[in-house]
Amino acid sequence: MRSGYEQIYESLIPKLGECDFSEASGRLGLSLAPDGAMTVIFLGREYEISPCGINPTDGMPVNVINRIVLAYYALSKGAGEPVFSYVPVYNFIGTGMAFGSNLKWMTDPLGKAFSGDYDKFRETLSRLGGVFEGKLSAGGYSWHLRILPKIPLRIVYYDGDEEFPCEIRILFDENASRFMEFECLAFLEGCLVRAMSMTAKTGSIAGWEQDG
């Protein structure tokens, strides 16, 4: 039986068939291949976006949620440039939406995975395309990740101590909501958390995913 996520992805494929890839690629910062498909680097892997769907060019399996996120980005009507000022994902929650503002549980697995091991965090984020920005006055380590061409992230590592556990914060460019609604940005954060957790565990950016 197809999952709900698979059904969502399949519903997006006909919309990709109607998309003007030439226009969208320029506006969204995607590469346009000679055959008319778009390509993008997402979490260290190259993907092809075509009217037939979205597939990683390395031929390895990929979770359907990654496909959904990339489809929504390709179909976005957003325009503009990042402002490189960063906020947590819950800042994009619209009024009347049934989500609480405390979404820290989404990144809790990262704090556990990298507790006391900044070197592993550094190696993992570097594999996924992250670039070190510097050490913060508050003691954290700040990293930049262009997870999608118009959606840069700031990822901050705070090591734990006797009072507080290790914490990793994922912050979005303030203009991210021009390109994706809150629910999809939350999915995007989930893709990153999963990629960081599994890359740290396996030492690879691919090969651990499952279709669906």
Per-residue pLDDT of the chain (212 residues; tens, 9 = 90+): 568 999 999 999 999 999 999 999 999 999 999 999 999 999 999 999 999 999 999 999 999 999 999 999 999 999 999 999 999 998 998 644 444 445 677 888 999 999 989 999 999 999 999 999 999 887 899 999 999 999 999 999 998 777 788 999 999 999 999 999 999 999 999 999 999 999 999 999 998 876 54
Distance, in Å, from the CA atom of 26 to the CA atom of 122, rounded to the nearest integer, reads 32
Q: Which DSSP letter does residue 106 get?
A: G
If DSSP codes are grouped into helix, strand and coil, which group holds residue 64? helix
Predicted local distance difference test score (pLDDT) of residue 27? 98
What is the Cα–Cα distance from 3 to 11, expressed in whole angstroms? 13
* Beta-carbon count within 10 A of 16 CB: 20
| Cα angle: 36, vertex 129, 158; to 5 degrees | 145
The pTM of the whole model exceeds 0.95: no
What are the angstrom distances between the C-alpha of 202 and each of 9, 55, 101, 209?
27, 22, 32, 11
At residue 156, φ and ψ (nearest 5 deg) are -120, 130
CA distance 192 to 6: 19
